Every structure is written in C-alpha cells, then in structure tokens.
Structure 1
Amino acid sequence: MRRALALALALGTPALAATLPSKAVLSGTCCPGAVWTPDSRALLFLDGPPARAATGIYTVPANGGAVTRRFSSVAFFSPRLLWAVRPGTGENTTLERLADGRRFTLPTRGGDVTWTRSENRLAYTRSDTSGNFDRRTTRVFVADAFGSPRQVATLYGGGISGWVNETTLLLSGKRNAGDRDRDLFTLDTRTGARRTLATALSFRGVSLSTDGSRVVYYVAFDSAARNGLWVRPTAGGAARKLAAFGSYRWRDPGRLLLIPLDPDGSPHVLREYDARANAWRTLGDLGDQVRQGDWNVSPDGRRVSYLSARDGNVRVVELPGAGD
C-alpha cells in the first residue's frame, strides 16, 4: 500500500488531486465564450438584453466586481485589442485601428484574420464554397497593416493554424486535392521556404505555444504510429507523444495545461506538462466540470477561467506556481 501511494505521488496522478479554490465572477448562465483581456486583469464577454441594457462587449474584473461595457459594437477584436475587424455584406471586411479610428479593407469574404503577435501583420484565407472540404482549394494571403494582400500559398482541405513569428505561418493542408494525407508545415512568407513538421490523415486541435516555439496537435483515425497527442518544436526536431487525451491550452512557452477526458462524471482535473523537463504534475481538480470545453488561460499564465457545468457561472481559478 505504501509503495503504491509513493508511486502515485511521484506520478502526480489525478486521483490524488486537491480541489483548487475558484470564484464565480459572472452568474446567471449569461456568458459562454468569455475571454481574457491582454493584461490578464479582466474577462470580456458578449451580452445584451434582457440582462444588459444594450448589446455589446462587456468586461468584469478577474476577481469579480462591477460589469461595464467595453465596446458598444460587436466585431472580431484582435488578441491585443488593437483592432476591430468588421465583416461587410460582400467581399470586403473593414479593419479599424482602435487607437485612432483609421481603417482599411481586405477581401476576406466575411472571415476573421489571424494576427502576428505585434499585430502589424495578418493572414487570412479564401476557400471554395462548394464541394467536398477535403478537395476544396484554399488560398492563403498575408498583408501588412494598411497594406495590400499577397497570396503566399494554395492548400486543399486545410488552413491557417497561426503565426510562428512575424514572418512565418503555421499551416496544414494537402499539396494536391487527390492526396490522402495532409502536412502540418511552416511557411516563411518572405522567401517561400517550407518546413514539414508532420504528415497525417488530419490534424486536430492544432495550437501554438505562446511564443510560437512549440505546437501541440492530435491525430486520430490514422496508423498506430501517427495517432495520439503530440508536442513538437516548430523549428524542427523530434516530437514527443504524450500519454494523455483531453482538452488542452498552453500556459506559457513551455507548459501545457490539460483536462483529461474522464467519462465518469467526476470533477475535472487540471494537469500540467512541462515540455522542457518532459514531466507531468497534477495541479488539482476544479470541484466541478467545464461545460463544453469552455475554458481559457490568462495571458500571464496565473489564472484559468471556465464555464461551470454545475451552475452555468463563469469561475476563475488561481493556478499554483512553478514551485508550488
């Protein structure tokens, strides 16, 4: 018994997790899809009548408190809240710099754009609107703020996964419409240099670390050698297959948070994978479940917000530090 307990402690198994204290900052099932502000001090959410006087983007402090309206209009807002992206009824989308109201348009056909971390450059796709998705042509465009778009790639059955850095995109898709497999690859938008990171039937849950140095993804319905959850450096090098499955988010450049899938209805457990040390630890359980995968990590990596499956409230959890 003692040996089993010691082994469980060493592995940080979810069964021994302590409950992490949480605080409800929004109540009344009003606010699925809440996201963090760039400074990690508050949450943003969409709401309107009858709970609020008018439709808009509202904010609540991370510790709870008064709800105020941050934006009176609804748009795609950039991660740093520097831009509002407002799709039109036709080809063109208007992008507005919030600091001075200066605008320009891009022919995104109503789609959002993907920003670099500086938010001085962006990328978007234009895809065929009919036919089997696996064979649809998708064209990838990049542009500088207030600049003209330039096509940099053509994919089939794929799209943009993010910016690795200010000039390099992470993309997935097939080279030819009739191919079976897709590539996950980086593309230098200046030189056209391409680096294939992995090949599989499809890639799910592709997510770049906060600095773009790593990517996590899941492969299913492929060969035993390809299936599973993987973490891989974006600069090239060996991937690591993680013996885990669940919902995941990056905490910082080297740490990945994961809520393991547990169908028995017990409280969701929060685990942390350190990619540098190749080690897991259990942070604790939520004393609750997350509804429909609706959870987010604050940009500073100190908190997690989630939509409670028990009461529909948005709750915030303080995360243990590296040495806790």
Structure 2
Amino acid sequence: MRKAAVLALALSSPVLAATLPSKAVLSGTCCPGAVWTPDSRNLMFLDGPPARPTTGIYQVSANGGEVTRRFSSVAFFSPRLIWAVRPGTGENTTLERLADQRRFTLPTRGADVAWTRSENRLAYTRSDTAGNFDRRATRVFVADAFGSPRQVATLYGGGISGWLNETTLLLNGKSVAAARDRDLFTLDTRTGARRTLASALSFRGVSLSPDGAWVTYYVAFDSAARNGLWVRPTAGGAARKLSAFGSYRWRDARRLLLIPLDPNGGPHVLREYNVGTNAWRTLGDLGDQVRQGDWSVSPDGKKVAYLSARDGNVRVLTLP
C-alpha cells in the first residue's frame, strides 16, 4: 500500500510531466497578443506592413495554414465579436454592431468597455486624471446597448473586474479615498445591493470563471494571512488559498489552469485545479517557456495558444 502511494505521488509530480505536443501556427515573431475567436477555431492578431499589405486584424486557423484578414479596421472587439468599440479623440467612443453597422456613442474618454455574456449590456469607468491613483475617484457606469449610461458606484483606486451575470458587477476599490484597504465586492446594478468578498491592500490578477461563479486573485505585500493566490465563490462562502503561484487562466467554469513560477528557468509546466474536487493534476510541460505571460485558453477549453520564448512563434496545443 505504501509503495502504491509513493508511486501515485511520483506520477502526479510536475517534475515527471510529459511534454505536451504543440504546433507553430504563426512564425516570424509577428504576433504577440493573439486572441481566440468565439468558436475556438481561429486566432486573431493585429498586423500590418511589411508582413501584410495593410494594417488590420488578421486570423489563422488553430491548426495553422493560410493567414486571412478578418477586419480591415482596428478597434476593441467584444468577446463574441458582436461589437466594435472605436474610441474617438475626445470624450466619446463609438460602438458599432457589426451585424448591421448600427452605432451609438458613450462618453468613455477612450476607455474600452466590459460586456455581459449576452453583450446586451456593458459597463465602463471614468476616473479623475490627476492625483495619486490610490485617491483618485473612479465612477462606474452601466448602459444597455443603444441606451443612456447610468452611474452605479464611485470607487477610489479601483475599477471593474467583470460581470457575474447580466445585472451584477464585480468591482474592486476603496469606499473612501483615505482608507488603507480595498474591497473586492459584487454590486447588483438594479438594486444597489453589495456583497463584500474580501478586503486587502490591493488585489492583483482578478479573474472570473466563465460562468461568474468563482473568482481567483492574488494578494501581495499584505499580512501573511492575506497574501497568496486565492479562489472564492462569488455568491459568498469561504475562500481557498491555493498551494501554488504562477500565471493562471480559467479553462472552463470549474477548472483553473496554472503555469507555476519556476525560478530555475526550466520548461513551463501546465497544471489544472478543479474547484469542484479541490484537487490539482499536472497536464504536462510545454518543452518551452511562455514569453511575457502571453498565453490564452480557447473558449471551448480544449486548446492553449502561447507565444514561444524559444523562437517567438505562436504555438497551439490540445489539452488533455
């Protein structure tokens, strides 16, 4: 029995991880920041001369092959590619529905917006432009598509972390400028009801699961009890401090992928945490490293794309 336990531990060790095969789909160090299309079939990226005839948003299949132009203009595109968000030179930003080119404007001062999953509603912030960031007032606005904005909150030293659902925002910031700690909290934009999830000097890497049910974040330079990588249910309940640290992305509503920090400079290992079972497993190593944290998970949770530190190519692998 003891031998079996030792064997199981050894097989789960990141040191013994098998190398996950990957394929270069873009080469020539052209394309940092590539993002997935909603159907998980392609990767989109910004490029232009001299590699491409004109500047625009291009795409390539996740299996590699021909590069084609997806959009001739540059904009912030919504996750489902329903909207193009085009900041102007002044207060107003133009939002265009791509299906029919119908447009409306919002006074975002050039900022991008945060969309609900349906992309029928959005949120944005407007912050003071002078003074220490920790004491700057940030006003949070929400609006329906083609509707007028409405202010729902004022924060200091914070902003929007995402939408939990069609009506509830996840925000972080201080309630008064002089406070030491920030709160991570949910806000029902219809009723104003607020639920504080955690308090800390600051929250970093705040990331919502695709269904909005879980949030992960890390805290640094605070007390020993607060520091670390955490995952927490957004409906309330106890947080879990994860026994790992590194770069993380949600794979789906229940699984969090993490590349542990490796100070020795070896190949990056891909691990997976399941919030349902509260258990880790090692998926494998890349045989490579990710350059500058540039990696992403396809919306269907089946593939990972990353910028190779070895050759600067964008590579794609299929997850176990």
TM-score of the aligned structures, taking structure 2 as reference length: 0.98
Q: Which amino acid aligns with 1:43?
A: L
Residue equivalent to 2:313: 313
Q: For 2:269 and 2:4, how far apart are their aligned partners in 1?
A: 23
- SS of the aligned residue for 1:155 comes to strand
Q: For 1:103 and 1:184, how far apart are their aligned partners in 2?
A: 33
Encode CA deviations 1:129-181: one digit per residue, 9 max, x unaligned. Answer: 11100000000000000000000000000000000000000000001000000
Q: For 1:190 and 1:239, how far apart are their aligned partners in 2?
A: 27
Residue equivalent to 2:110: 110
Once the two structures are superposed, the pairs formed by residues 192-231 of structure 1 within 5 Å of their partners are: 192-231=192-231
Encode CA deviations 1:86-141: one digit per residue, 9 max, x unaligned. Answer: 00000000000000000000000000000000000000000001110000000000
Q: Which amino acid aligns with 1:135?
A: R
Q: Which amino acid aligns with 1:153?
A: A
Residue equivalent to 1:156: 156
Q: CA deviation at 1:263?
A: 1.5
Q: CA RMSD in A?
A: 1.1
Residue equivalent to 2:47: 47
Q: What runs of 5+ residues in structure 2 fail to find an aligned partner? A: none
Q: CA deviation at 1:4?
A: 8.1
Residue equivalent to 2:262: 262
Residue equivalent to 1:119: 119
Once the two structures are superposed, the pairs formed by residues 139-288 of structure 1 within 5 Å of their partners are: 139-288=139-288
Q: CA deviation at 1:8?
A: 2.7
Q: Which amino acid aligns with 1:8?
A: L
Moved over 4 A (4+): 1-5
Q: CA deviation at 1:9?
A: 3.1
- SS of the aligned residue for 1:222 comes to coil
Q: For 1:228 and 1:275, how far apart are their aligned partners in 2?
A: 17
Encode CA deviations 1:4-55: one digit per residue, 9 max, x unaligned. Answer: 8525336x22101000000000000000000000000000000000000000
- SS of the aligned residue for 1:25 comes to strand
Q: Which amino acid aligns with 1:9?
A: A
The answer to whether structure 1 residue 298 and structure 2 residue 288 are counterparts is no
Encode CA deviations 1:205-249: one digit per residue, 9 max, x unaligned. Answer: 000001000000000011111110000000000110001000000
- SS of the aligned residue for 2:263 comes to coil
Q: What runs of 5+ residues in structure 1 fail to find an aligned partner? A: none
Q: For 1:102 and 1:312, how far apart are their aligned partners in 2?
A: 39
Q: Which amino acid aligns with 1:104?
A: F
Q: Which amino acid aligns with 2:199?
A: T
Q: Which amino acid aligns with 2:62?
A: A
- SS of the aligned residue for 2:191 comes to coil
Residue equivalent to 2:15: 15
Q: CA deviation at 1:3?
A: 7.0
Q: Which amino acid aligns with 1:103?
A: R
Task: Among all aligned residue pairs of Structure 1 and Structure 2, give the percentage whose two residues are the same amino acid.
Answer: 84
Q: For 1:310 and 1:80, how far apart are their aligned partners in 2?
A: 32
The answer to whether structure 1 residue 77 and structure 2 residue 88 are counterparts is no
Q: For 1:180 and 1:298, how far apart are their aligned partners in 2?
A: 38
